[in-house]
Amino acid sequence: MENRMDSAGSRRDEQVWGFAPVAAPGARVLVLGSMPGVASLRQARYYAHPRNAFWPLAGRIFGFDPGLDYPGRLQALQACGVALWDVLQACERPGSLDADIRGDTLVPNDFRAFLSVHPGIARVCFNGAKAAALYRRHVLPGLDGISLQYFELPSTSPAHAAASFDQKLAAWEPALKV
């Protein structure tokens, strides 16, 4: 990320861009974050921060080793009918905190096109409150006629320490299993 100045002379970070979705043709559940954090962006991997609980949770729920290499984890998740993506395609955000996403720079992903390619998706699970709020505000109004189940889940980010691993597991397990 490079820094630049806006017209008022304040420092602004260049836009960060998210990843392509990871989804097998038979996906039934879509897990949505807001935008990958710095560690994930650097490694070009979903949930790459070593203290992010997503992979340990998914491994426990679906019975795969969360220590598998990244392609192995993605394959295991897809075999369980779970797809990964983010609400935002791009935004300006210094650091990794969702609270620092600049609201005037949001570019949501094209969910109407994604869902037309993946018609089996019946459930959307939000990885944290910010992902749910961004989706409701910037995506849902454009999805008239598409009926989905929605689950707002506790964030797996290490920044969300208010819930223990077991509390997160209790929320995530019934939401991910269709």
Active site residues: 52
For residues 60, 52, 34, 178, the Cα torsion angle rounded to the nearest 10 degrees is: 0
**Which residues face 41 on adjacent strands?**
none
User: Cα–Cα distance between 93 and 91 in angstroms, integer?
Assistant: 6
Name the amino acid, one letter, at 162: A
User: Cα–Cα distance between 98 and 131 in angstroms, integer?
Assistant: 9
User: Cα–Cα distance between 82 and 28 in angstroms, integer?
Assistant: 6
Question: Which tokens in the block code for residue 119?
Answer: 């018609």
Inter-residue contact 158 to 52 (CB < 8 Å): yes
Inter-residue contact 122 to 28 (CB < 8 Å): yes
Inter-residue contact 104 to 72 (CB < 8 Å): no
